[in-house]
């Protein structure tokens, strides 16, 4: 596949401790370095990329003094369409500026709740003071806010220690290119491999309530 015709969607595995934008820039740099090394002369190359949703660069913390039964009972309150207040540290914008930037400058934001949807919510592991949740949610859903609100629901407090996106649309974690696979050949192969399932997914979800999962 020629570079000029390379176009499509492919998954990558974002390393921890860097932002989604930093991962995107790192991928572009790797591909441009490879392209420049395989071409002759002073040809100029440009790669346009975007990502399907911002992931937290890192998260830490624990949930203490709660029981497994209490957590399971409260999880049902967060299923379906709910009102959720996004975190102050997020990519959402106010007056053209990210919430996280306002917060870093010490500005206190009055953040209104938004309607989001959680399709599935399960307690996978409970080993105090830690627990693991499996979450399937739609666009705009913040897992950090979920854990924060769950902590309040059980009469305590909580925040994340680790967050991993295992699936987006038809693409799963097993499909994602790890950083050492960020090469032009691997990207081309991934686009070709997943183009059919992505197109099928878009067509089948255009008129359903889960369209916002993208």
103 and 180, same domain (yes or no):
no
Catalogue the active-site residues: 56
Same domain, 132 and 76: yes
Same-domain pairing of 51 and 79: no
Most confident of the following: 23-27, 37-41, 122-126, 194-198 = 122-126
- 37 Ramachandran zone, left/alpha/beta (phi>0; psi -120 to 50): alpha
Q: Identify whether the C-beta of residue 109 lies closer than 8 Å to the C-beta of residue 99.
A: yes
Mean pLDDT score, 13-30: 83
Per-residue confidence (pLDDT) for residue 202, from 0 to 100: 80
Note whether residue 160 is domain-resident: no
179 and 107 co-located in one domain: no
**Domain total in the chain:** 2
Q: What is the share, in percent, of the chain residues with pLDDT greater than 90?
A: 34
Q: pLDDT at position 213, please?
A: 39
- Asked if the structure places residue 63 within a domain, the reply is no
- Section 121-141 average pLDDT: 92
Q: pLDDT band for 38, please (50, 70, 90 cuts).
A: low
Domain span at residue 77 reads 68-153
116 and 84, same domain (yes or no)? yes
- What pLDDT is recorded for position 104? 87
Looking at residue 60, its pLDDT comes to: 32
| Chain segment 74-96, per-residue pLDDT in tens | 999 999 999 999 888 788 888 88
First-to-final CA distance of the chain: 26
CATH number reported for the structural domain that contains residue 102 in this entry:
3.30.2350.10
For residue 6, give the nearest of 41, 47, 34, 40 by alpha carbon. 47
Residue 170 contacts residue 152 (beta carbons within 8 Å):
no
Q: Are residues 49 and 87 in the same domain?
A: no
Same-domain pairing of 95 and 33: no
Residue range 168-205, pLDDT digits in tens: 888 999 999 999 999 999 999 999 999 998 888 888 76
Task: Verify that 48 and 82 share a domain, yes or no.
Answer: no
* Whole-structure pTM value: 0.62
Q: What is the rounded CA–CA span in Å between residue 135 and residue 211?
A: 17
125: pLDDT confidence band, cut at 50, 70 and 90? very high
């Amino acid at each position: 596949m020629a570079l000029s015709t390379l176009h499509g969607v492919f998954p990558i595995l974002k390393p921890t401790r860097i932002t989604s934008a930093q991962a995107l820039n790192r991928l572009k740099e790797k591909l441009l370095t490879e392209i420049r090394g395989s071409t002759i002369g002073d040809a100029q190359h440009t790669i346009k990329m975007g990502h399907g949703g911002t992931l937290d660069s890192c998260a830490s913390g624990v949930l203490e003094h709660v029981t497994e039964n209490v957590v399971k009972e409260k999880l049902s309150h967060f299923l379906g369409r709910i009102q959720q207040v996004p975190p102050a540290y997020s990519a959402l914008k106010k007056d053209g500026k990210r919430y996280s930037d306002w917060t870093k400058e010490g500005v206190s934001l009055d953040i209104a709740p938004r309607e989001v949807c959680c399709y599935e919510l399960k307690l996978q592991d409970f080993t105090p003071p830690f627990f693991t949740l499996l979450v399937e949610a739609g666009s705009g859903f913040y897992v950090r806010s979920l854990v924060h609100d769950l902590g309040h629901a059980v009469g305590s407090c909580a925040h994340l220690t680790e967050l991993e996106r295992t699936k987006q649309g038809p693409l799963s974690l097993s499909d994602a290119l790890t950083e050492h696979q960020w090469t032009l050949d691997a990207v081309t192969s991934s686009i070709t491999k997943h183009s059919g399932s992505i197109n099928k997914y878009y067509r089948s979800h255009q008129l359903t309530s889960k369209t916002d999962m993208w």
